[in-house]
């Protein structure tokens, strides 16, 4: 197995920059080339990073020097783009959501098995220290009998955020709104920390934006751990509030604000050591995504391909949030 893997990036928009920076920060990864269905975008991006621009995706997939592809296209293309890459013998880093239907996530899992290629679904917040601290405490039952596991994700996206994009806010290419695009990060973390849940009831609506999908949604969940939980997600709540996950039980509680713990009480004692750091600004600014956590995930993906580590976020993990969101939408 090669010690440095060559990466191609498909889709040269906003998040592609984060992938490029993450790849460049790693010793075991090399940014090799990029493609976009708009060749001018690919050429501009390629020039910025000093790599080659392929005239189309097929050309990138046919290049035997490319070991892995980061798929950074609009969500509605994720499944078909990933299927082509896996069938062409490439390993895949797939942006969230894994796909916009549960059926497509299952197809991807099946093709990974058939082709024996690795696929990781980006969930960069799972690499945050506080997220893992909280997950461990929940697993150790530190909070006693759990009563609530809640997710509040009342974000703000302007009308221009949707009107300036060809795909955001569309059913076919975004697959949903406040929950499938923004909220999926929170749903993924909630399930990662608190375990699986079923949906007891839900309501979605579009109160402000002129889009096909929801800009506000609320759901009631029943967790396998015994707790009930609420999920609230929005992109129409000005000025945008930090994502919060609350875990509340008979022996304590925790509040995760974005990916930093702001409250952590077990048995009457606060376990927080000083300031847990500043929180990211994605509540109102979609471009405020740091590359470091993407780099940690891509590093784990490379080491899994090389046989040195277990792949932490595979198709089954990527599928969990899509499954729950589809269930919420079905009410």
Ligand X SMILES: NC(=O)c1ccc[n+]([C@@H]2O[C@H](COP(=O)([O-])OP(=O)(O)OC[C@H]3O[C@@H](n4cnc5c(N)ncnc54)[C@H](O)[C@@H]3O)[C@@H](O)[C@H]2O)c1
- Chain contacts with ligand X (rule: CB under 6 A): 10-16, 36-38, 41, 72-75, 77, 95-96, 122, 124, 165, 181, 289
Q: How far is the CB of 45 from ligand X (least distance, A)?
A: 8
In order, the DSSP letters of 63-94 are -TT--EEEE-S-GGGHHHHHHHHHHTT-EEEE
How many Å apart are CA 215 and CA 234, to the nearest integer?
5
Q: How far is the CB of 77 from ligand X (least distance, A)?
A: 4
The CA–CA distances, whole Å, from 130 to 1, 263, 296 equal: 34, 11, 15
Q: Select 92 or 137, whichever has its Cβ closest to ligand X.
A: 92
Beta strands in the chain, from DSSP E residues, in sequence order: 5-10, 29-35, 52-53, 68-71, 91-94, 119-121, 146-154, 197-205, 216-223, 228-234, 244-249, 252-257, 260-266, 269-270
Six-digit token pair at 4?
């440095």
Q: How far is the CB of 89 from ligand X (least distance, A)?
A: 19
> 3-state DSSP call for residue 50?
coil
Q: Select 254 or 313, whichever has its Cβ closest to ligand X.
A: 313
Q: Select 16 or 23, whichever has its Cβ closest to ligand X.
A: 16
How many Å apart are CA 321 and CA 312, to the nearest integer?
15
Q: How far is the CB of 172 from ligand X (least distance, A)?
A: 12
Residue nearest to ligand X (CB): 13
Q: Select 41 or 241, whichever has its Cβ closest to ligand X.
A: 41
Q: How far is the CB of 57 from ligand X (least distance, A)?
A: 6
Eight-class DSSP state of 171: H
Q: Select 165 or 251, whichever has its Cβ closest to ligand X.
A: 165
């Amino acid at each position: 197995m090669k010690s440095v893997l060559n990466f191609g990036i498909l889709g040269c928009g906003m998040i592609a920059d984060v992938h490029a920076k993450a790849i460049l920060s790693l010793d075991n990864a090399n940014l090799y080339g990029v493609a976009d269905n708009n060749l001018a975008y690919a050429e501009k991006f390629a020039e910025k990073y000093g790599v080659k621009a392929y005239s189309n995706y097929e050309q990138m997939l046919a290049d035997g020097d490319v070991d892995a592809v980061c798929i950074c296209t609009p969500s509605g293309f994720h499944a078909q783009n990933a299927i082509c890459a896996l069938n062409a013998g490439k390993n895949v880093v797939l942006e969230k959501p894994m796909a916009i239907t549960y059926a497509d996530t299952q197809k991807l899992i099946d093709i990974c098995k058939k082709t024996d290629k690795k696929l990781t679904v980006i969930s960069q917040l799972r690499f945050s220290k506080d997220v893992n601290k909280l997950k461990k405490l929940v697993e150790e039952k530190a909070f006693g009998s759990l009563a609530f596991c809640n997710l509040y994700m009342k974000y703000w996206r302007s009308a221009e955020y949707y009107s300036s994009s060809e795909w955001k806010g569309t059913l076919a290419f975004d697959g949903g709104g406040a929950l499938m695009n923004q909220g999926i990060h929170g749903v993924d973390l909630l399930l990662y920390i608190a375990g699986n849940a079923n949906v007891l009831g839900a309501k979605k609506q579009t109160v402000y934006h002129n889009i096909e999908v929801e800009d506000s949604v609320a759901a009631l969940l029943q967790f396998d751990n015994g707790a009930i939980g609420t999920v609230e997600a929005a992109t129409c709540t000005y000025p945008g509030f930090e994502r919060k996950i609350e875990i509340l039980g008979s022996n304590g509680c925790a509040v995760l604000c974005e990916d930093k713990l702001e409250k952590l009480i077990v048995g009457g004692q606060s376990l927080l050591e000083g300031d847990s750091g500043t929180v990211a600004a994605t509540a109102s600014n979609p471009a405020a995504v740091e590359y470091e956590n993407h780099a940690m995930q891509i590093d784990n993906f490379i080491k899994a391909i090389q046989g040195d580590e277990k792949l932490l976020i595979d198709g089954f993990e990527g599928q969990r949030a899509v499954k729950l969101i589809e269930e919420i939408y079905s009410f």
